[in-house]
Structure 1
């Protein structure tokens, strides 16, 4: 009888995060620096017995770009709150500070004007965020002739389409550098990509990734409540985007299952759900019909287990894949 009739809200503590501060003259300084750089020196220094050492060549170029970026930028620690909206930008933050200042001053007219400006700023921020999200769903026509090698025009176009807000990989080269200096970095990146295609080797520095555990729920009780997200170098993403079409077109569209939604362009889990719901509802329109759905979860099929032998040594073994049936529904 003494238990409260409601569950109190969980209090989430704010988190600290380090961000990179870009001055107004950072991108022009990088453009001027990369424009004056003789990229041929990096290639000549990586030649071993008449052949280019792709590992040294790529590592030297990416390290030079990262060092130049660190010279023109700085870092700052910011506080993030759990209820922070995704559309909240610098303009809305400044309007919030202006409204609070007007409220503390006691001027009603200034407070009323600050509130109007804040409302308009929030609408603009939400519209810009919605437009940015809708831009991710624009489809491109994949029917075009693919060259045997990557051209400078394709690399430049890929660099200009980079989202500057994406997190950088282990090389610490942000998308803002690659997009802002697309014209200055096109030649050297095209040379690296073509050398990789000719040697059929991907540099190790482009294959490394940082695994970031992201909580699936607000309250974490075990390791299974985390979702691993791999942060790969943005340069590798550009490289994969340039040569992915010739690779994907080796398989004819007639041999691909039309109900396959994974690893296909412009397909997602929402398309799979819509297809299942549409098929089920269309079938249920018939008289005396029913639908039975079987869901199979392979999440725990390949878990890594540790077993101990009777001897002194302990080694790791892989469990046998055992799919888990999570539900069977009948309508």
Structure 2
């Protein structure tokens, strides 16, 4: 099964090689890279005038690239109320890249998941019965309005996982309103 999935992935995805140097600066742009290549070719050709012009163009392009990069970084810190934008700036400055999530190479995982979810499909022969709570027990009372108000206060960007996203919250509101009616 996993080898078939791997084959499908290989058939459907496009692999692209991107070469980066370990000391590549964050302000490096395609224009600067092209001018670096032009400077090297002018140097190898031995043309002093072309080399001088290449150096001038390269210096100007580096200044512009550094200025643009600096403005982009400063833009992350302009508004004090947008903490998400600020953290993106810090990640850009530190060149932080989160590690990709680890994938278990255990081939029995699909079978384990299948058997786990299959237990919910088993026939349930026990009839449901309603129990009446005693006076000392607290009964949980939910209204659609209270649930909707509570779930709308959840910030989907700060949620613990995908099940707490705004779309899931809206779905929970719809489900709860159907159950309560």
Length-normalised TM-score, structure 1: 0.23
TM-score, normalization: structure 2? 0.40
Q: Which has the higher strand share?
A: 1
Looking at secondary structure, tell me which structure has more helix per residue: 2
